[in-house]
Amino acid sequence: MELTLNVLSFNVWGIGIPIICPNRQNRISAIGEELASGRYDIVSLQEVWTENDYNTLQEKTKHVLPYNHYFYSGVIGAGICIFSKYPIIGALFHAWSVNGYFHKIFHADWFGGKGVGLVKILVNNQVINVYNAHLHAEYDTEKDDYKTHRVIQSFDTAQFIENTKGDSVLQILAGDLNTQPDDICYKVILRISKMTDTCQDEDTCTDECPRNTYTPKSLIKKNSKGIRIDHIFIRGNENATVQVLHHGTPLPDRVPGQKFSYSDHEAVLARIKISPGSCQAGAKCGDEGDSLAKSAESQEVLQKAIQLCENSLENLSFDRKFYFTFALIVVFILITFIDQTVPYGYKTVYLIGKLCLFGVAMYFVFMGTFWNMIEKNGILSVKHSMEIKLSAIEKYDLKIDS
């Protein structure tokens, strides 16, 4: 049967700290009212960090989007959830092997235990796989400490999609991927999963947009057009013709009756048409075969991704030596001054100082051993998977989706 779906992806900026995230409750309530309009069939949300916000959205949308699922993970939850007009018949969450650093508290990605979530939705007796992901943020464009992490998350997500597609007639990845169309992460996801971007307008903006009330003026001066990091990717199977009828940002610049926007991101809408039959000209289909150009591009993307992993492994080796060196220095200071006699009245300060130094030494030891090995093994695991995929393309000329 022919079917048209309206799919929405939206980073709602639901951090539960008022100073960092202003107008949150009012914005979440307004988002719930918009979702309850009945204009959307499938909604993929990111940064729903509090259970109260999720409950608010559930209550407001229960009549039009009665099926929903929240992906619990990590310390504070992955922050991603999906609402659907159609029944959800299965759900699965895959945590990424690397996901930031626990000691960078203000970045907090590690505490979310991020990964890619999957729900299987039954639409007219056909299964549609909907994936929701929120890749690690960049934070600093000048010195991006998380580029390798995002590349690994991108490859891991693409592999997860490929290995869970099953008999689904359509796969949809809708999320805040924190990657622009010219970034390697964007290319890794599309080439390895063999999906198609539903957006064909280079001027589409989803973050740092000038019209958004939460965009700092400094960012507008730096880039007056904003950036596109929120995406909806699709892929149909060999028995379906999948077409993108529309792509855009459907929400107004301001919450009705208010002076602020719905979020610091813009929502993204894709209207997708699924028709029975094999792929046709002009359609966005899944298993349409690789051209030589696409195969060469896939090899190049994987080679760059592997090189990033190798560079990170070298940095980890240096970090390990750095942490051990400082741990030894702190231990030497402790041993040197352990039996020092201090004036009366300063003993408490002296003991506290020794305890602090001991804590610093333990921190350096932990970072140089356990944490270093966790990150190293996480990178090695995905790096080896990349090498297997690259070898398959080079030696056997396999299709990316085989």
Helices 51-61 and 24-35, axial angle in degrees (round to 10): 30
Structure tokens at 62: 């229960």
134 is catalytic: no
Cα distance from N-terminal residue to C-terminal residue, the chain: 27
Helix pair angle (147-164, 184-193), 10° resolution: 10
Please report, rounded to a whole number, the percentage of residues in the chain having pLDDT higher than 90: 72
- Per-residue confidence (pLDDT) for residue 393, from 0 to 100: 86
Name the β-bridge partners of 269.
Answer: 8, 248
pLDDT tens digit string along 202-243?
899 999 999 999 999 999 998 889 999 999 999 998 888 999
Q: Which residue has the higher pLDDT, 142 or 301?
A: 301
- Please state, in angstroms and rounded to a whole number, the distance separating the CA atoms of residues 175 and 334: 49
State yes or no: pLDDT of 140 exceeds 90.
Answer: no
pTM: 0.90
pLDDT band at 104 (very low <50, low <70, confident <90, very high): confident
Mean pLDDT to the nearest integer, 257-284: 83
Contact indicator for 192, 401 with CB cutoff of 8 Å: no
Reference 197, options 141, 159, 224, 235; nearest CA is 235
What integer pLDDT is reported at residue 278 of this predicted model?
63
Contacts of 155 (CB under 8 A, 6+ apart): 188, 192, 305, 382, 385, 386
- Rounded CA-CA distance 110/136 in Å is 9
pLDDT at 263 over 80: yes
Q: Nearest CA to 8 among 76, 64, 56, 89?
A: 64
Higher pLDDT, 293 or 3: 3
| DSSP letter assigned to residue 202 | T
Give the DSSP letter of residue 207: B
Residue 300 to residue 386: CA distance in whole angstroms:
12
Count of beta carbons in the 10 Å neighbourhood of residue 133:
30
- Contacts with 143 (C-beta within 8 Å, 6 or more apart), sequence order: none
Decide if 110 contacts 101 (C-beta within 8 A).
yes
pLDDT value of position 339: 67
pLDDT tens column, 376-397:
999 999 999 999 999 988 877 6
For 128, what's the count of Cα atoms within 13 Å in the CB-facing half-sphere? 28
Q: What is the DSSP letter of 29?
A: H
Structure tokens at 396: 């056997």
Q: What are phi and psi of 174, to 5 degrees?
A: -130, 115
Q: Binning pLDDT at 50, 70 and 90, where does residue 292 land?
A: low
- Which stretches does DSSP call E strand in 237-320? 240-248, 268-276
Q: How far apart are CA 133 and CA 189, in angstroms?
A: 11
Owner of token pair 């093994």: 377
Residues 6 or more apart in contact with residue 374 via CB below 8 angstroms: none
Which residue in the list 69, 136, 247, 265 is annotated as catalytic? 265
Residue 93 in contact with residue 115, Cβ under 8 Å?
yes
